[in-house]
Chains A and B, each alone.
Chain A
Amino acid sequence: MNRSRGNDQLFQELCRDIGTNRVHRDGASQLLYSRDGSAFPGGIPGVVCFPETTQHVVDCIKAANRHDRSFVPRGAGTGLAGGAVPCDAPLVISTTKMNSILEVNYEKRFAWVGPGVVNLDLTKSLTGTGFHFAPDPSSQQSCTIGGNVANNSGGPHCLAYGVTNAHILAIEVVLPDGTLVQLGDVDGHASGYDLRGVFVGGEGTLGIATRIAVKLTPDPPEIRTLLLDFMDVADAAKTVSAIIASGIVPAAIEMMDKRIVNVVEEFVKVGYPTDAAAVLIIEVDGLPEGVKIEVERIQSISLEHGARSVRVASSDEEREQIWKGRKSAFGAVAQIQPGYYLHDTVIPRTKLVEVLEAVYEIANRYELIVMNVFHAGDGNLHPLLVFDPQEPGVMERVLVAGEEIVQVSLDAGGVLSGEHGIGLEKKRFMEKLFSEEDLAAQKLLKDAFDPDGRANPFKVLPSGASCSEVNHLNQLPDGAWV
């Protein structure tokens, strides 16, 4: 095919435009940038670019246009739905080197950052200023703000503070035709369509963010972290529903079941009760008097609903360790089995008990191990099916079980994804939630931003055409699945 010849020309032009050291197309780079955190059996990138400026990104996209190529934006590659997996030999545009914090305005409480700034690095750089960046996905020590914008990332503390979209004021975007445009403004009041709002969560299919204005959130004066344990998963779930129904909105309510608590404790050794059926991590924050009230109310609600004990973290270190455990949960599952398959459905919080029960029942029926670790406060499940990919026939069971879990969630009035996005992985389920006409309406938005379909093709919407390299989508990959 003449693709490789096209590649040569494209490669040379990119080297000329953004500098040789910022353009890779060796086999090693192609292998490494064929996957993201999901280890999807990806396609192969045509060329991998490491722009350092907005102009570099514009140059990359214009080069892609000249050569009729698509492009895939990529942050740290921690995505869990294959959103950064290249299809059809695109340019992979890695924004990891655009990692400067450009401006911090404490008076107006915003900061302009490059898309490659790592989420936790931003918050760390604000230590001592009285502010932080609120979205805190579990991968926050590695994932980039650009990636957070693409996926509208969540995180434990989004229960009270809102997901990424609520914390992005403005975005400088290079559109798929190479046009540079600023969406939104730092006051959060730009008139006209909220294009900033739809760009967030666009999974890189609407353009590439090159500068992002994030909202700085004041640190709460008081924080209390509670660790509750239950001998019955249903009791933990009932407690969550009861807390929400009582009108308290804690900063975070997280749930982990016995299996995940055990692997996490093995890693952090902070004294998670490994004999409990489930634990809840609940955090409340705000002014001290109110925090005290909420701690007391949560304690009594949870005891009423069968909590065995309630432990309040006594120091910042203890609190940090508890959270470190929670946020390492996914990464720790390989202690049990080297493969995992994960869903991200959201269900009404009032349906937690029955849906969890169904999830365990499905896993049992297919003789699979399921681990549950999730944002219970907003009903965002993360059922993890853990398995050994070498075991013959296991893939089929995992896939069918996964699909049943999705169906149970949707039947309970839920949605497909709360924070990981649709990417490649979940688009086959989109028709379960939306009608053909609903999906056609979503396509209008995509077409307005990207009429030629160059930005991260084959993602989000289940289109007729599918990525030729990833047409074995229904086959889980060898090895790991995150």
Chain B
Amino acid sequence: MSTSLNLDKDHLTACISCGLCLPHCPTYQTTQDESRSPRGRISLMRGVEDGLMPLSKEVIESLDTCVQCLGCETACPSGVRYGELIGQTREVLNSHRKVSFRLRAGLWILLHMRVLLFGSRVLAVLQRLKLVPNKALPVPSRIPLRGVRYVQNDDPEVILFTGCVMDVWLSQVHEAALSVLDSIGVRYMISGNQVGCCGALHSHAGFRSTANKQALEVISALPSDLPILVDSAGCGAVLKEYGSLLGTQEARIFSSRVYDIHEWLINDSKWRESLPARRPGNKKVIVQDPCHLRHVQKAHTSVRELLTPFVECLELDDEGLCCGAGGAFSVDQPELAKEIRDKKLKSIQRAGRHLVVSANPGCMIHLESAGVEILHPIQVVAEYIGGKEDHE
């Protein structure tokens, strides 16, 4: 099958095959195989574009196994825009083949909040009855039984973006975020159910038209000029990308309002005023950077800045290598995702037996299902800033 991927030729030729991306690619690190590396994937894209390579099973496998963590973009000294290349490629691939039922079903459900809510409640009950074996599904081990009723302020200063699945599965993170805002006296509202899915996973998986549709909905549902705070790195990344995704002035203005919650807090004067004079205990946490925070938003240092007044932050020794969650990746490529996670687990082990924090629901769920004790950083902050818990 001879197909054009419609890739930007300049972006393709910008890769000079130096190989400096190899150590930052989770799939190359687990396989040591060129076809699982950024430079290999770019070579294959080039091969397809130049008509040297058919879009064979092996080529598709190579491209499908990319987590899209974009660790390679951070590592590339020439600034190759790999994200754009693989995004565009995925889109073309999706129009040429059947997407797996698992993936399609997963993406569909995100767009249908009622089904998602109903299914999750059923799952939560089954979990309590121990009818779902632990780690059988890519979901948290204890889904909340009922939805949270958030209190909102009049005359809000900020909007917390609550999204779809996170609001259903990890609402405790939103609660923690709101309690932090409460403690320092920031008035807020939430985006809530009517806004729903941001389309991050759809964009990620190469369903750009669905992603664009969600983007339009989200933008029109959240007018005003209030800052939009996001406590999911994956959602935050795509919200910030709406501008370039849609290419409209309205979308660009919207994206400029979006902040990762850590990023926003550290620059907020109320936050700075409420910091303790010295660290309340000697607790240590291991910081696991979500790729969408580190490589896409490049806001990962703010997590440390936010945590350091309260706890000591320990770094992993893998320079921000992906954990294998990768949005829908762990659903689509479960075996590879597990192998990548195994590497991460070893790195966590080397850092010692401490609580792990990660600012993205996907990473939290993926690591938790391997038995890692994990929280969202904002949950740790909430414990301290609210003064709710006394720590050793």
Contact = CB atoms under 8 A, between A and B. Distances in A.
Nearest to B21: A142
Given A32-B40, A37-B19, A139-B20, A328 B77 contact: yes
B23 A334 contact: no
A118 interface: yes
Interface string A98-124: 010000000000000000101011001
B320 to A, nearest CB: 13
A78 B18 CA distance: 6
Interface residues of A, number: 48
Interface in B25-56: 32-35, 40, 43-44, 46-47, 52-54, 56
A94 B28 CA distance: 13
Contact of B23 (A141, A263, A330): A141
Instruction: Among B21, B52, B56, B58, find the residue whose CB has the most chain A CB atoms closer than 10 A.
Output: B58
Given A29-B35, A50-B33, A99-B32, A338 B16 contact: yes
A33 to B, nearest CB: 6
Interface residues of B, number: 35
A295 B52 CA distance: 55
Interface string A264-282: 1011000000000000000
Instruction: Among A50, A141, A263, find the residue whose CB has the most chain B CB atoms closer than 10 A.
Output: A141
Contacts of A116: 32
A94 B17 CA distance: 17
Given A33-B34, A332-B77, A333-B78, A480 B15 contact: yes
B13 A78 contact: no
Identify whether the interface residues of B are mostly helix, strand, loop, or mixed. loop
A35 interface: yes
A97 interface: yes
B385 to A, nearest CB: 29
Interface string A321-346: 00000001111111100111000000
A333 B16 contact: yes
A28 interface: yes
A31 interface: yes
Contacts of B58: 26-29
Nearest to B46: A479
Interface string A66-90: 0000000000111000000000000
Interface of A: 26-29, 31-33, 35-37, 39, 50, 76-78, 94, 96-97, 99, 116, 118, 120-121, 124, 139, 141-143, 263-264, 266-267, 328-335, 338-340, 389, 479-482
Q: Which 6 A-B pairs have the closest CB atoms?
A: A334-B78, A332-B77, A96-B32, A331-B77, A480-B16, A328-B77
Given A330-B18, A333-B78, 5 more contacts: A96-B33, A121-B23, A331-B76, A332-B77, A332-B78
5 contacts: A139-B20, A141-B20, A334-B79, A339-B16, A340-B16
Interface of B: 10, 13-23, 32-35, 40, 43-44, 46-47, 52-54, 56-59, 62, 76-80, 317
